[in-house]
Every structure is written in structure tokens, then in C-alpha cells.
Amino acid sequence: MCTAAALSPAAASATPMDRICRRDKMTLAAGHEGGFLMDERTTVDCVANARALAPLIAAAAPRIEDGRELPADLVEALHEARLFRMLVPRSLGGEEISPVAFMQAIEEIARADASAAWCVAQTSVCSTVSKCMKPHVAAEIFANDPRGVLAWGPTNNAKAVAGDGGFRVTGVWPFASGSRHATWLAAHCLLYEPDGELRRDGAGNPVQRTLLVPRERAVIKDVWHVIGLKGTGSDTYSLTDVFVPEDYAISYHALNSAERFEHGPLYSFSIYQLFGSSFPAVALGIARTLLDDFCALAQKKIPNNQTALLRDSAVVQSQVGVAQGQLAAARTFFFATWEEAWATAQRSALSLEQRVRLRMASIHLSQEARKVAETAYLAAGTLAVLQSNPFERRFRDMHAVSQQAQSQFAIFEAVGRYYLGLPPNSRLI
């Protein structure tokens, strides 16, 4: 970051958040087909911004927990720092940063607060489906609204009935993280013909689409009463016979590359690959802070009925040594794998082996981060259960993260199948 002495007169008069938003000048060409040109743009160091914003996020943690959502002032700060725009195409006014930088930024946010990191990660990955949106639709959601955010919940047997000029949508979508500060929601649906018949493709498979609707068209049900990640506001939303114009329907989860308008290497990755890696990045940030906090505690705590500091215990020394090694190794494997994948994506498609390694590095990080968090929590003793310190909240957050489908041990099955000469048989690869 620039020092005060290095600031220009214009920079010196900038707000504190302006100074957080670190930028470097660059020339930008159009990306979204049919989109608009911006002659000169600036890139944002989103990792530096996340790190600079961390104290503000950490200070907001009690309000995040109590309110079960991100406070409005924090949402505004995250917008000002461009952290909701990390994966939005440059052609739509986004940052379009590399997945490596994105995961690093999520790690930094998670070190301060897991719910904030989860919301930014979830909605950022949702924004990548803009790659398949018609230019005017993408512009309406993102380019024309500097605070535009897309959120969604998973597919839940919703239906979209075809009609004149569009679809009538009815369904319920749970676990919509970040939906309380979203401006648009996605409705993943099975398509039905006007006569009620399920639409099928040439191979006889049901056709699914992702439809985009303004948030105000949905009914939001406050159901997010949970043990961890309380601040994500992952509510349930529903639509009942809501008309969605045909232009606002894209390929299911933007998986059809033939419909892409954005062709940068970032958009060659599926939402499954990006979600599957952003959640481990959240776990990494939680584990890092828990372990750091325990090391600080061990240097000043004298356990009951003892005379020596906790750090003087040979058992504790060994636990910390193992945990530091676990976390460092898992983090290195994770980011090295992503760096290799990102380098390849700029030239060609990833090989099957690279996709498997990406999934392996992600699930390995998830599992190791949880183990490290548990080690730190248990070693902290009875102090860890008190709400007056962050151990118990981070422990709860970690175990909420670990319940997500892409954090489950079962993911290793697809990895193992590949190395045993069998097809992975998983869309997550």
C-alpha cells in the first residue's frame, strides 16, 4: 500500500476506502460479445483490499453473528473494496481476477469472519454465469448497477413452463447464501411444455435452465437459524407463477460452452470447480486464525493446577508442530494446483488429470483445515467454549463449512476412481 508521503494531491483527498481500493492502470479491450468498450480501466489488488479490510470485518463479527446477516455498512465496504466484483467480467465493469487471487482474497476475508467470506465467495461464483447471459441482460444485472449481486439456492425440483416470450416459474430454493444483500436471484428449473410435458433433449434427458429474476419478485422466508455461518443469511426463497422473459434464461449453471459470450480463461472453469475451491479457502482462513489464536493463548495461559505456561507442554508443542505442517502442506498443494490449472487455462483446456488434481487439492484442504481447527479448539481447553473469545464461533463456523456437499469426505471417491483406472463419474470433476 502507498504511504501518505507517496500520495498524490488527489489521492491525499481520497476517503479511507478509496485508499483501500488499490489499483494499477491498464488498458482494457471489450470482452462480452455485444458489450461495451472501456478505453482505460484499472485493476484492483483484491487480495490487498481484503487484507486491508480485515480489521473492519473482524470488528463487525458480533453484529454479523447477532443479526444473522452482513450489516449494511460492511456490505457497502465490501462493494467499495470491489470484493463483490472479483469474478464479474471486465466488460461488465468487474475485475475478472485469476482464480488464484480470488481464493487468496477469500482466505484473507475468512481469517476475519467466515460468514463474510462465505457470502462473498458464494455470490462471486454465482456472478460467473454472466458468461452465458445475453449482453443486455448481463449489463442490466452487473454493468448498469454498481451494487448488482446475484445469489441462488440449489436446484429443488422447480419448474418453468414455456409460454409466449418466456416461462412461468414456480419453485422453492433453499440455502441462498448472500440473498439478503443480493439484487437478483437465479431459479434453476426443469423446463415443461405448455401442455405440461417435461421438455427433453435429443438424448431424452430432461432439459434444465437457469432463469434470472429480480430479488423483489421472490418471497424470502427467514429460516436461517443454525449453529455456524450464522451471518450468511442463507434463507429460502420461492417464486409462484412468476413470468421470466426468454432472454433471462441461460443454460443450466452456465454449463453449455456454446452459449458463452465471455471467452476469457476464467470462464472456462465451471461453477462446480470454483465453488469446490472457494469453500476450502474459507476453511483455510478459519483454521489459520484458530491456530494463530491458540499459539498466542498458549504463550500466556497457565492451566488450572499447574505452574507452567501451556506452551511449555511437550504435548502442546507436538500438536502445534503437526498442525502447522498440516495446514502449510495443504495450502501449498491447493495453491500450486490452482496456479498450474490457471496457467494451462490461458492456453488450452485442462486435462482430466488436472481436473482431478484440482478436486483432490480442494477436498484435501477442506479436510486438513477442519482437523487443524479441531486441534486448536480442543487444546485451548475450557476457555474455548466461552462466547467472550472467538474460538467457539470459529469452531462452529468450521463445522458448518464442513457440512457443505463439496466438503464431504465422499468427494475422495471420484479422485480414487480416477487413480484406479475408473471413470470419476462426478460432475464435480
pLDDT in tens, 225-246: 999 999 999 999 999 999 999 9
DSSP character at residue 198? B
Bridge-partner residues for 168, per DSSP?
Answer: 161, 243
Please give the grid coordinates belonging to residue 108. 484473507
Predicted pLDDT of residue 20: 47
Contact 274, 128 (CB under 8 A): yes
Please give the grid coordinates belonging to residue 394. 470459529
* Alpha carbons within 13 A on the beta-carbon side of 152: 25
The sign one gets for the Cα dihedral 323, 326, 328, 330 is negative
For the packed helices 114-127 and 391-401, what is the interaxial angle rounded to 10 degrees? 30
φ and ψ at residue 14, rounded to 5 degrees: -75, 160
Bridge-partner residues for 236, per DSSP?
Answer: 221
Final residue before a domain boundary, out of 78, 111, 143: 143
Please give the grid coordinates belonging to residue 320. 502445534
φ and ψ at residue 209, rounded to 5 degrees: -140, 160
Q: Examine the domain organization and report whether 283 and 166 are in the same domain.
A: no
Please give the grid coordinates belonging to residue 303. 492451566
Residues 282-311 have a mean pLDDT of: 93
| Residue 407 CB contacts under 8 Å (≥ 6 apart), including other chains | 279, 280, 283, 363, 366, 367, 370, 401
Alpha helices per DSSP H over 140-186: none
pLDDT category of residue 10 using cuts at 50, 70 and 90: very low
pLDDT in tens, 56-104: 999 999 999 999 999 999 999 999 999 999 999 999 999 999 999 999 9
| Furthest CA-CA distance within the chain | 79
Q: Examine the domain organization and report whether 27 and 85 are in the same domain.
A: yes
Q: Examine the domain organization and report whether 246 and 108 are in the same domain.
A: no
Q: Examine the domain organization and report whether 135 and 180 are in the same domain.
A: no
Residues 203-229 have a mean pLDDT of: 95
Q: Residue 249 is part of a domain; what is its CATH number?
A: 2.40.110.10
- Return d(Cα 24, Cα 5) in angstroms, integer: 18
Q: Which amino acid is at 239?
A: L
Contact 131, 89 (CB under 8 A): yes
Q: Examine the domain organization and report whether 412 and 352 are in the same domain.
A: yes
On whether residue 337 sits in a domain, the answer given is yes
On whether residue 304 sits in a domain, the answer given is yes
On whether residue 428 sits in a domain, the answer given is no
User: Could you tell me which of 182, 116, 195, 191 has the C-alpha nearest to residue 159?
Assistant: 191
Chain centre to alpha carbon of residue 356:
20
Q: Examine the domain organization and report whether 282 and 395 are in the same domain.
A: yes
Residue 240 structural domain: 150-259
Final residue before a domain boundary, out of 143, 168, 194: 143
Would you state the torsion angle of the CA atoms of residues 223, 227, 232, 237, taken in this order, to the nearest 10 degrees? -20
pLDDT in tens, 95-130: 999 999 999 999 999 999 999 999 999 999 999 999
Q: Examine the domain organization and report whether 233 and 339 are in the same domain.
A: no
- Other Cβ atoms within 10 Å of 153 Cβ, number: 23
pLDDT category of residue 6 using cuts at 50, 70 and 90: very low
Tell me the chain's radius of gyration from C-alpha atoms. Answer: 23
What 3-state class would DSSP assign to 366? Answer: helix
Predicted pLDDT of residue 37: 41
pTM beyond 0.85? yes
